[in-house]
Amino acid sequence: MYGYGNAGGFFGPALRHAGFDAVVITGVASSPQYLLIKQNKIEIYDAKYLWGKITHETEEILKNQYPKSRVASIGPAGENMISMASIINDLNRAAARCGIGTVMGSKKLKVIVVQSEHKPTYSGPFRSTVIYPKVSP
């Protein structure tokens, strides 16, 4: 099955600023984990201390731990694989279709944290086509 959820907010741009267009998660962790994504690098950390917390608590804890970061997390519904669980970012943005938070819970992935202060670079052809399109009269 294919599931798609669009939450909006600033998590996606932060991911791009960290050097990634997308992240594909495969496999299942043996215990709760979270991903920390920084400039072209992904690290995996223990998330047992976050397991059981609601998304607002999780985001507050991690934003204090990683200043200027963006957080996408699941709450107890995702952890318990409730079929309608969502992924929350920017406190109230929800990727909620198809129970996409349930998938994170099934992998024991509590959170994805993105920390980047860099702006992305774009190739000349991309910039001329997408960012600064030429308009013909």
Instruction: Give the tens place of pLDDT for each residue, 110-127.
Output: 999 999 877 777 777 777
- The pLDDT mean for the chain works out to 90
| pLDDT(136) > 70 | no
pLDDT of residue 1: 65
Task: Please check the confidence at residue 6 and state whether its pLDDT lies above 90.
Answer: no
pLDDT of residue 5: 75
Q: How high is the pLDDT of residue 132?
A: 57
pTM: predicted TM-score of the whole model, two decimal places: 0.84
- Report the percentage of the chain scoring pLDDT > 70: 91
- Sequence-distant (≥ 6) Cβ neighbours of residue 47 within 8 angstroms: 32, 33, 34, 110, 111
Complete domains list, the chain, with CATH: 27-120 (3.60.9.10)
